[in-house]
Structure 1
């Protein structure tokens, strides 16, 4: 896995280095996740978001950006007997994610929207510390290898090279199809509107970006 990440980052930086119109740099952040459709609520699964980006200015106010990042998603319900919560449940999902966004700048702020594709690297699911596969009464249903997600975000630019990003990502496709029946950790009913029954990643990500050169030639304050 680490080897694949390094290769992707190398390709990204080599591509950017041959074009002055492109900007590149590292990113590091925290992901707060839940899985809609697992009977639990709350962005309680905390994970890592790390990688690199490349962006290109297309006008004084607009630029486009592509990230290549390793991100951890999932779900977490910790027991809290004082509040009547006794379940100990965890889903841990790791992806290589490629968000592509368009961004509009206004003074020190910018808003963005786009789409992301993620390739599943690893998945784990546990109840009371025991993997689902080790519980005879529970059926294993695999997570999908590919996730498509919508991306919406806001940025605050400290200067031309450093900015803080807050993003909301939500799965377009199901990351796992329903089980063939009711089990305690899964609700096969549609989550909202006319979406198909299943589980969907729902996460907020807070990330710091650093550009090795200026993101906007005219400056973000114009």
Structure 2
């Protein structure tokens, strides 16, 4: 089984359990029977890491905010499109010894994207929904800092190894209906192509955005 597929197995299981825990406890309310389009606002946080650097863990926290529009396609199926500000990146929590013979004592990468996710969602009879899709992100700003001991012979310059301007992601997500127009959203996403190629003596290989998102969504019903 491909490594990428294996990485999606656990997030998919978490999202299914996330939806299933409360579905039976909610009222039976059909999904917006008289509406074709409906929209809302989103505010939450990304918990992110960059696969391919020398640090593990979803240690970088960032903003995830914007708007969403749903298009009802069938009784239980709706497409959605979002326009978001999404902050991603990585930050170190402990020194890391590299093969080059020095420690990275401090590292961080702060990436801010404009992002457009498109998803197909399945609704149950309680307004809970889950789905999958793709997103396109455009890098608006990036800031990277690194400290090593001892200092490298050739100082690292971010401009010599820029992050790519475009990021394409696979998305898996679920929404729990809380009250009236309020939903709690959990989402996993992963870069389909690398956001930067290998940086000699700094990264383990090509780099990929890897993140969980927790958000509150309000739909105008």
In structure 1, what is the equivalent of residue 142 of structure 2?
123
In structure 2, what is the equivalent of residue 112 of structure 1?
131
In structure 2, what is the equivalent of residue 186 of structure 1?
203
In structure 2, what is the equivalent of residue 38 of structure 1?
53
Report the TM-score when normalising by structure 2. 0.73
CA contact (8 A) 2:104 2:147 kept: no
Instruction: Measure, in 1, the Cα distance between the counterparts of 2:203 and 2:80.
Output: 36
In structure 2, what is the equivalent of residue 172 of structure 1?
192
What's the CA shift for 1:137?
2.2
In structure 2, what is the equivalent of residue 47 of structure 1?
62
What's the CA shift for 1:159?
4.0
The answer to which of 33-42 and 103-112 deviates more is 103-112
- Structure 1 residue runs of 5 or longer lacking an equivalent are 1-19, 130-134, 189-197, 214-222
Counterparts of 1:69-148 in structure 2 under 5 Å?
69-79=84-94, 87-108=105-126, 109-128=128-147, 136-139=154-157, 140-148=160-168
What's the CA shift for 1:86?
7.1
Residue 63 of structure 2 aligns to a residue in which SS? Answer: strand
Give deviations 1:39-94, integer Å, cap 9, x for gaps.
110000000001111111111111111010001000011348xxxx9722101000
CA contact (8 A) 2:104 2:146 kept: no
CA contact (8 A) 1:78 1:87 kept: no
Q: Are 1:210 and 2:218 an aligned pair?
A: yes
What's the CA shift for 1:128?
3.7
Report the TM-score when normalising by structure 1. 0.73
Instruction: Measure, in 2, the Cα distance between the counterparts of 1:171 and 1:105.
Output: 26
Residue 125 of structure 1 aligns to a residue in which SS? Answer: strand
Instruction: Measure, in 2, the Cα distance between the counterparts of 1:170 and 1:86.
Output: 25
Q: Are 1:68 and 2:83 an aligned pair?
A: yes
Count of aligned positions: 174
Instruction: Measure, in 2, the Cα distance between the counterparts of 1:86 and 1:49.
Output: 29
Residue 194 of structure 2 aligns to a residue in which SS? Answer: coil
CA contact (8 A) 1:165 1:208 kept: yes
